[in-house]
């Protein structure tokens, strides 16, 4: 058997090393110029006037929830078919999660389900671009305007995705991106908030830095803040990554297209939803949906035996143990999400994935499904 194929792998080169080394040699490891450079380049890449880098995507989401003024008793509507951070971010502020079901095709929030979930206590919507597929921004924005709600876009998986011809981040909605090593772009750990509002940006910059005020001293704190700073080492790595963002996106697009071709004739699975005029996915992961009745555990075990890593992306958030315990959520609340959670499977996928490895994955998957 040939070597094992990981689920993900970062895409790093000598330029990244050079930029990180530059910071190490400069002695300015935090609160230095590498952060400004990273933020400026990022803002330009996504088409937003401001960007504030933070220690993680979760931190960015939490700060937007704090800035929205969420408090105990408020409800926030979000997607159950996501990574837990998109719900945790407002629970930290005392708000209650309300899960609206997703659209089976896009796997993103269904605007009609969101509308049906709005009550007089609803204060915000956290919309996720799951697996890099842009959410229904316009209908959700319209709902928010009509009901006076804050809209937060969890674009942690969607750097480079496009909605109605504009990159996610360019539409005027505050959007958070994340840079864990499995993402399109990595800083190790890290995240960034793209905003079109100068006041929000100022609040983010203060809150991430222990609530320090603009122009104030190191030990002067204007508000309750956090240490959600990124450092210059990570920001430099982020700049190296951003410099090759278009190459990264193109390579991932090509790898996804290759999987599409390899899996086209395979019975028993559905490929990820194709792009259309309004939605262009940024390829974060390659997730197939297995036919109902397939024994997913058998597929996972067989691929694992052949050295091929897979993952059960994604469990429904409302069925996580702490959610059941805290809010009493149970099966049946979001049937579409729950069904997807049973059937979706992430295949090995990363920027420099080898075409031959993809062939091996596709062949193993086809044989297992046929067996
Ligand atoms: C949809 C979504 N939201 C939020 C996050 C949180 O980002 P981080 O891991 O940087 O805190 C992630 C990252 O895994 C994510 O995929």
Choose the catalytic residue: 45, 123, 164, 183: 183
Let me know: does 341 contact 314? Beta carbons within 8 Å. yes
The count of other CB atoms within 10 Å of the CB of residue 224 is 9
Compute the distance from residue 61 Cα to the ligand 1 centre, in Å: 9
Model pTM above 0.85: yes
Q: What is the pLDDT of residue 85?
A: 98
DSSP 253-302: HHHHHHHHHHHTT-TTEEPPPPP-SSEE---S-EEEEEPTT--HHHHHHH
State whether the beta carbon of 314 lies less than 6 angstroms from ligand 1: no
DSSP 159-222: TT-EETTEETT-SSSEEEEE--TTSSS--SS-EEEEES-HHHHHHHHHHTBTTBPTT--TT-BS
Report the pLDDT value the prediction gives residue 205, as an integer from 0 to 100.
Answer: 98
Range 358-366 average pLDDT: 98
Find the mean pLDDT for residues 62-73: 97
129 close to ligand 1 (CB < 6 Angstrom) = no
Q: Which atom of ligand 1 is the closest one to the Cα of 180?
A: 10
User: What CA–CA distances, in Å, run from 63 to 90, 218, 253?
Assistant: 9, 21, 32
The residue contributing the CA closest to ligand 1 atom 12 is: 156
Q: Is 184 in the pocket of ligand 1 (CB under 6 A)?
A: no
Q: To 5 degrees, how large is the angle CA 307–CA 309–CA 313?
A: 160
User: Sorting pLDDT into bands at 50, 70 and 90, what band is 261?
Assistant: very high
The answer for 9, left when phi > 0, alpha when psi is -120 to 50, beta otherwise, is beta
Query: Given a cut of 80, is residue 309 above it in pLDDT?
Result: yes
Q: Does the pLDDT of residue 103 top 70, yes or no?
A: yes
Spatial neighbors of 360 by CB under 8 A, at least 6 apart, are: 2, 5, 306, 308
Distance between first and last Cα of the chain: 19
- What is the best residue among 63, 80, 83 to mutate for testing ligand 1's pocket, by most ligand atoms within 8 Å of CB? 83
How far apart are the CA of 185 and the centre of ligand 1, in A? Answer: 13
- Between 326 and 217, the higher pLDDT residue: 326
Residue 178 Cβ contacting ligand 1 at under 6 Å: yes
Does ligand 1 come within 6 angstroms of the Cβ of 157? yes
Distance 158 CA to ligand 1 centre (A): 11
What is the distance between the alpha carbons of residues 51 and 177, in angstroms, rounded to a whole number?
A: 10
HSE-up of residue 293 (Cα within 13 Å, Cβ side): 2
What digits encode the pLDDT tens for the residues 172-211? 999 999 999 999 999 999 999 999 999 999 999 999 999 9
Q: How far is the CA of 218 from the centre of ligand 1 (A)?
A: 30
Counting atoms of ligand 1 from 1, which one is nearest the CA of 58?
11
Summarised one tens digit per residue, pLDDT across range 266-286 is 999 999 999 999 999 999 999
DSSP structure string for 8-70: ------HHHHHHHHHHHHHS--SSSHHHHHHHHHHHHHHT-SEEEEES-HHHHHHHHHHHTT-
- Cβ proximity of 168 and 186 under 8 Å: no
Mean pLDDT of 330-355: 98
- 313 pocket-lining for ligand 1 (C-beta < 6 Å): no
In degrees to the nearest 10, what's the CA dihedral of 82, 88, 90, 93? 180
> 158: Cβ below 6 Å to ligand 1?
no
Q: What pLDDT does residue 54 have?
A: 99
Q: What is the C-alpha separation between 194 and 169, in angstroms, rounded?
A: 6
Q: Give yes or no for residue 323 having a pLDDT over 60.
A: yes
- Give the mean model confidence (pLDDT) for residues 150-158: 98
**C-alpha of residue 82 to centroid of ligand 1, in Å:** 9
- Specify the pLDDT at position 1: 53
CA–CA dist 48, 57 (Å, integer): 17
Distance of CA 125 to the CA centre of its chain: 16
108 pocket-lining for ligand 1 (C-beta < 6 Å): no
56 CA closest ligand 1 atom index: 10
Is the predicted pLDDT of residue 145 greater than 60, yes or no? yes
Backbone φ and ψ of 175, nearest 5°: -130, 140
Q: Which atom of ligand 1 is nearest to the CA of 190?
A: 10
Whether ligand 1 lies within 6 angstroms of the CB of 10 is answered as: no
C-alpha count within 13 angstroms, C-beta hemisphere, residue 60:
28
Distances (CA, A) of 31 to 163, 175, 218: 33, 23, 12
- Confirm whether 183 is a catalytic residue: yes
- Does the pLDDT at position 2 exceed 80? no
Ligand 1 pocket check for 316: Cβ under 6 Å: no
CA atoms within 13 A on the CB side of 185: 34
Whole-angstrom Cα distance, residue 36 to residue 51?
Answer: 9
For residue 305, CA distances in Å to 6, 182, 309, 365 come to 13, 23, 9, 12
Pick the closest to residue 184 from 37, 9, 57, 312 (CA basis): 9
Span of 202-206, 218-222, 234-238 with lowest mean pLDDT:
218-222
Residue with the nearest Cα to atom 8 of ligand 1?
57
Of 10-14, 144-148, 217-221, which gets the smallest average pLDDT?
Answer: 217-221
Round the average pLDDT of the chain to a whole number and report it: 97
The Å distance, Cα 83 to ligand 1 centre, comes to: 6
Q: Give the pLDDT band (50/70/90) at residue 262.
A: very high
Instruction: Tell me the CA–centroid distance for residue 178 and ligand 1, in Å.
Output: 6
> pLDDT above 90 covers what percent of the chain?
97
Which positions ≥6 away from 207 have C-beta within 8 Å? 63, 66, 67, 223, 225, 226, 228
């Amino acid at each position: 058997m040939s070597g094992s194929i990981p689920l993900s792998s970062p895409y790093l080169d000598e330029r990244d090393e050079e930029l990180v080394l530059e910071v190490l040699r400069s002695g300015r490891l935090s609160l230095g110029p590498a952060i400004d450079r990273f933020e400026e380049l990022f803002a330009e890449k996504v088409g937003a006037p401001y960007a504030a880098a933070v220690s993680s995507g979760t931190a960015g989401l939490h700060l937007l929830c704090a800035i929205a003024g969420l408090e105990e008793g408020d409800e926030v509507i979000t997607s159950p078919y996501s990574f837990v951070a998109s719900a945790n971010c407002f629970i930290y502020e005392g708000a209650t999660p309300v899960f609206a079901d997703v659209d089976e095709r896009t796997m993103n929030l269904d605007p009609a389900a969101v509308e049906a979930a709005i009550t007089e206590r609803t204060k915000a919507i956290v919309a996720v671009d799951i697996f890099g597929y842009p959410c229904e921004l316009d209908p959700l924005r319209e709902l928010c305007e009509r009901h006076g709600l804050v809209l937060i876009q969890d674009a942690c998986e969607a750097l480079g995705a496009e909605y109605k011809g504009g990159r996610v981040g360019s539409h005027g909605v505050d959007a958070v991106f994340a840079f864990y090593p499995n993402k399109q772009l990595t800083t190790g750990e890290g995240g960034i908030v793209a905003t079109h509002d100068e006041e929000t940006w100022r609040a983010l910059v203060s809150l991430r830095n222990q609530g320090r005020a603009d122009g104030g001293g190191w030990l002067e704190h204007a508000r309750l803040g956090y240490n959600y700073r990124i450092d210059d080492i990570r920001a430099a790595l982020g700049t190296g990554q951003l410099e090759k963002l278009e190459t990264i996106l193109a390579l991932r697009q090509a790898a996804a297209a290759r999987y599409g071709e390899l899996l086209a004739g395979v019975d028993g699975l559905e490929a990820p939803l194709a792009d259309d005029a309004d939605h262009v996915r940024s390829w974060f992961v390659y997730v197939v949906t297995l036919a109902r009745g397939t024994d997913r555990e058998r597929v996972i075990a067989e691929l694992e035996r052949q050295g091929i890593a897979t993952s059960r992306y994604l469990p429904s958030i409302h069925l996580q143990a702490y959610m059941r315990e805290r809010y009493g959520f149970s099966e049946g609340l979001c049937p579409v999400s729950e069904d997807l959670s049973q059937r979706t499977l992430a295949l090995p996928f990363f920027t420099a994935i080898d075409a031959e490895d993809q062939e091996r994955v596709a062949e193993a998957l086809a044989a297992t499904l046929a067996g």
